[in-house]
Amino acid sequence: MKKCLKIVLTGNFAPTFLRTTLLKHARACVLEGVARLVRNDQMAIMVCGDKEQVEQFLDGLYENDTEWNITTIEVEPFVKDKDYRGIFRIIE
């Protein structure tokens, strides 16, 4: 079963967090979607994939919140409105 989430992270992120940590984590979970920095301290993530993989991705965010300097995680379901073509991208 497919699942899509909109996740908003707030924190004090390292400059390479999007390109290295988050991208690697999403690809390891075999997810598709996009992530972009909204402000210096906030990023928006749209992620879709198999339910188990999406939950694994989310669990990873909660398990590593201290290490990755995440202070808040907001999660809400969303309906996929575009084709992510099977990959996870960073929008700069």
Residue 37 included in any domain? yes
Which pLDDT band holds residue 56 (cuts at 50, 70, 90)? Answer: very high
Coil, strand or helix: which one is 29?
coil
7 in a structural domain: no
Give percent of the chain above pLDDT 70: 96
Phi, psi of 66 (to 5 degrees): -70, -45
Give the global pTM.
0.86
Q: How confident is the model at residue 24 (pLDDT cuts 50, 70, 90)?
A: very high
Residue 83 has pLDDT above 90, yes or no: no
Of the pLDDT bands very low, low, confident and very high (cuts 50, 70, 90), residue 81 is low
Residue 48 lies in a domain: yes
Using CA atoms, how far apart are residues 3 and 15, in angstroms rounded to an integer? 29
Is residue 6 situated within a structural domain?
no
pLDDT-based confidence at 61, cuts 50/70/90?
very high
Q: Does residue 2 belong to any structural domain of this protein?
A: no
Q: Give how many domains the chain has, as a whole number.
A: 1
CATH number at residue 27: 3.30.70.100
Residue numbers of the domain that contains 34: 12-91
* Cα distance between residue 2 and residue 4, in whole Å: 7
